[in-house]
Amino acid sequence: MLVETYRSLERAQKGHARGAPAYSVYVNRRLGRLFASLAYGLGLTPNQVSLISAAHTFLAIGLIALAPPTVWIGLVIALLLVLGYAWDSADGQVARLRGGGSPQGEWLDHFIDTLKISSLHLAVLVGLYRASPDGAGWQLLIPLLFSVAATATFTAMLLNDLLKGKHAQASTHERGGGTLGRSLLVLPTDFGLVCLVFVLWGWPSVFLAGYGLLTAVAVAFLALAARKWFREMGSLRGSG
């Protein structure tokens, strides 16, 4: 049953968005497919799968903010975030297996994503502050900057889809079967790398180097993408 469901999902899988990064496409989607097959076999609904994803993710966020930054805690955090991200991919696949999703389910999925994106980096700020005997310093600007960039990017992408849909234009996430080269090029923007960087949580200076690099990429991506998206919104004038 599990194997048949997995293969059915694999055959029915939509092409990935042209700008989708490699981890999300080649790792997270396949983990999500496995979890979706398990969830479907257990009779779970898409909303229940979304809540499972949230439970993993927010437990990790709580550990980031409140637990000591040890090597083992970092590994647990990374594992929980990876699992939460995979379950996040599974809810939509379960919906397809059950005949389609619902506006309520889509709202819940986006609501959880918004909470995750807005709170994860603030938890890093709290964790770094608690771990530093002198209260840290300029390093605390890094998670603040990452939080702003990640939240603004996610909000802008949702707004893009809303406005393009209103004007009967293609979605920002239109499925175009992007190439491997393009997926690898945008890999540094992948949320999967944010999950994995917490493997370094037990070594604060090393973690800050990796996390800071991802922050710089997130800020640069937002700056470049905002310019592109702004031009696209200008082309919607008078349509619809």
- In the numeric block, which tokens belong to residue 38? 């398990």
List domains and CATH numbers for the chain: 2-234 (1.20.120.1760)
Where are the alpha helices (H) located in 67-167, listed in sequence order? 71-97, 103-131, 141-166
Does this model's pTM top 0.85? My answer is: yes
Residue 96's pLDDT is 83
228 Cβ neighbours under 8 A, 6+ residues apart: none
CB 157 within 8 A of CB 173: yes
Contact (CB, 8 A) for 214 and 197: yes
Task: Identify the sign of the CA torsion 177, 182, 180, 19.
Answer: negative
Which amino acid does the sequence have at 206? Answer: V
Q: What is the DSSP letter of 23?
A: I
pLDDT value at residue 79:
98
Residue 175, classed as helix, strand or coil, is: strand
Low-confidence residues in the chain, pLDDT < 70:
1-19, 133-136, 168-187, 237-240
Per-residue exposure over 138-156, b if at least 16 CB sit within 10 Å of its own CB, e if not: ebbebbebbbbbbbbbbeb
**Dihedral sign, Cα of residue 174, residue 28, residue 112, residue 53:** positive
Rounded alpha-carbon distances, angstroms, from residue 211 to 51, 80, 129: 27, 18, 15
Could you tell me the end-to-end alpha-carbon distance of the chain, in angstroms, rounded to an integer?
46
What pLDDT score does 234 carry?
A: 86
What is the structure's pLDDT at 240? 45
Q: What whole-number distance in Å separates Cα of residue 110 and Cα of residue 107?
A: 5
Q: What length is written for the chain?
A: 240
Rounded-to-10 torsion of CA 32, 36, 37, 38:
100
